[in-house]
Amino acid sequence: MLPIRRRKRGSSACPTCYEPRALSPLAFQTARAIRDAVAARQVSAVEVCEHALARIDSANPKLNAFLAVARDRALDRARAIDRERHTGPLAGVPVALKDNIMTRGITTTASSRMLQHFVPPYDATVVGRLEAAGAIVVGKTNCDEFAMGSSTENSAFGPSRNPWNPDYIAGGSSGGSAVAVAAGMSPIALGSDTGGSIRQPASLCGVVGLKPTYGRVSRYGLIAFASSLDQIGPLARTAWDAATALSVLAGADEYDSTASQEPVADYVGSLSGDIRGVKLGVPRKMLEQGVEPAVRNSFYGALEILGAAGAEIIDIELPHAPYAIATYYIVATAEASSNLARYDGVRYGFRAEGARDLKEMYEKTRSQGFGPEVKRRIMLGTYVLSAGYYDAYYLKAQQVRTLVRRDYELAFQTVDAVVMPTSPTSAFRIGEKVEDPLSLYLTDVFTVSANLAGLPGLSVPCGLTPNRLPIGLQLTGRPFDEATLLRIGDTYERHTHWWQERPE
């Protein structure tokens, strides 16, 4: 139950309100605790919602996690939950959405000038499923423009800042969602993961991030970056909260032909706290270079804890992993150049002024509407798809992608999950790598292979650097076996305190 102090009843007192000094503990409660308290009527959904909105008002000016706050929609939804005594798995729980997920009546920009004033006429499938489960959508979170980036510095509206140290990046591209959870503005947030964009910011901000198997969660209403790689998933405080969110989000969807018909597992029921006999594969050669010492130490410390909990640690090889980054940045940019061809200023979004004809209007709109990184990726993708280069680059990249997937298939004949650091480094200072995009691309070295292979991946907090910046542990599993990853992550949380650490 939540530690809530209510006001005394009186003519001017609200019998369901609590004193401001009791608000702080609520900010860092888990979704599970909030839902249980709302169900027990220890706190109302309106109180929870008002607190979340107040927290956003106070923290967001410094951290830039939210681009839009859905105040009226959130409060209306909270009142309905209280009135109906909603009993859904997320009843009364505030949820934030990455700003590339469509929300009817709420500005959805993908953090791009191109869509700065775009208001969708419909909700994404995941939004409807969240609200049917009782969740309260409180706003839209900042991200790298069109989800292209690893630091949220590519947002047209400024970078999100890491709540552990606002001079440092929050990661990306779902940086705003990670900040919202880490800073106590929302216990759950949704992001999208194309090459690590849920797991990496979760790692850098000290929260849990889950990329489901490709097709496990509907992409209907997600603004596409790379359609064969994109996947929506939750960021949360705990593996339990992530499991609950996935149980709500997962399943087939008539509006998305790539959404799988595979039965949805009992993710929460799988959290037994028992990993005895679970086999974890460690590709040690991948850790030999480019890994920050604090990250390496935390990773091997986590392996010891998992081993002590009953897991068997086995060395494995992923021989084509060194080629994953290059492969990813060919496949992803090729798909992006196609997906972003539709943004021309004709029907919606930004339109440049002063064009003399249609061709000039196209050119000016796309030149002014897209930021530097998006234009870089469009040009790269157009190049690898062009005549004379398609076979040399795109076709070869797809062949290597198959080899990466086969490496995992072979590994999973021996192990139940592959374990690595989520990111080779902790967060770095904002602006430190802006002029060196290649170094930013390399921060995805441990995450992109799961996207190329369509596999689920989970990041959980596993340590802090000497200057108190979070470090994440990544688990990658068999297709549609999120339950095993969540069980391992939950067991690890039971044996450690890292998930309870908060920014000062």
Cβ proximity of 401 and 267 under 8 Å: no
Is residue 197 part of the annotated active site? The answer reads yes
Compute the distance between CA of residue 224 and CA of residue 370 in angstroms, rounded to an integer: 15
Cβ neighbours of residue 295 under 8 Å, at least 6 residues apart? 421, 423, 424, 425, 426, 463, 465, 471
Cβ neighbours of residue 314 under 8 Å, at least 6 residues apart? 279, 280, 281, 282, 414, 415
Nearest in space to 210 (alpha carbons), one of 470, 490, 465, 405: 490
Structure tokens at 399: 């062949």
Active-site residue, from 98, 140, 211, 433: 98
Chain CA centroid to CA 90, Å: 18
Residue with tokens 């000290």: 206
Classify 269 as helix, strand or coil.
coil
Compute the distance between CA of residue 236 and CA of residue 46 in angstroms, rounded to an integer: 21
- Where residue 320 falls (left for φ over 0; alpha for ψ -120 to 50; beta otherwise) is alpha
Structure tokens at 405: 């997937």
Classify 11 as helix, strand or coil.
coil
Active-site residue, from 197, 203, 260, 426: 197
Is residue 337 part of the annotated active site? The answer reads no
Instruction: Name beta bridge partners: 459.
Output: 209, 474
Burial class of residue 97, CB neighbours in 10 A (0-12, 13-18, 19+): buried
Helix (H) or strand (E) holding 302: helix 293-308
Classify 6 as helix, strand or coil.
strand
Compute the distance between CA of residue 193 and CA of residue 200 in angstroms, rounded to an integer: 9
Three-class DSSP labels, 158-192: CCCECCCCCCEECCCCCHHHHHHHHCCCCCEEEEE
CA angle 484, 288, 472 (to 5 degrees): 40
Structure tokens at 503: 């920014």
Active-site residue, from 155, 173, 426, 459: 173
Residue with tokens 């010891």: 304
Compute the distance between CA of residue 243 and CA of residue 90 in angstroms, rounded to an integer: 11
Is residue 173 part of the annotated active site? The answer reads yes
Nearest in space to 153 (alpha carbons), one of 469, 437, 424: 437
Strand residues in 70-155 grouped as ranges (E): 94-98, 136-141
Cβ proximity of 391 and 134 under 8 Å: no
Q: Which residues are catalytic?
A: 98, 173, 197
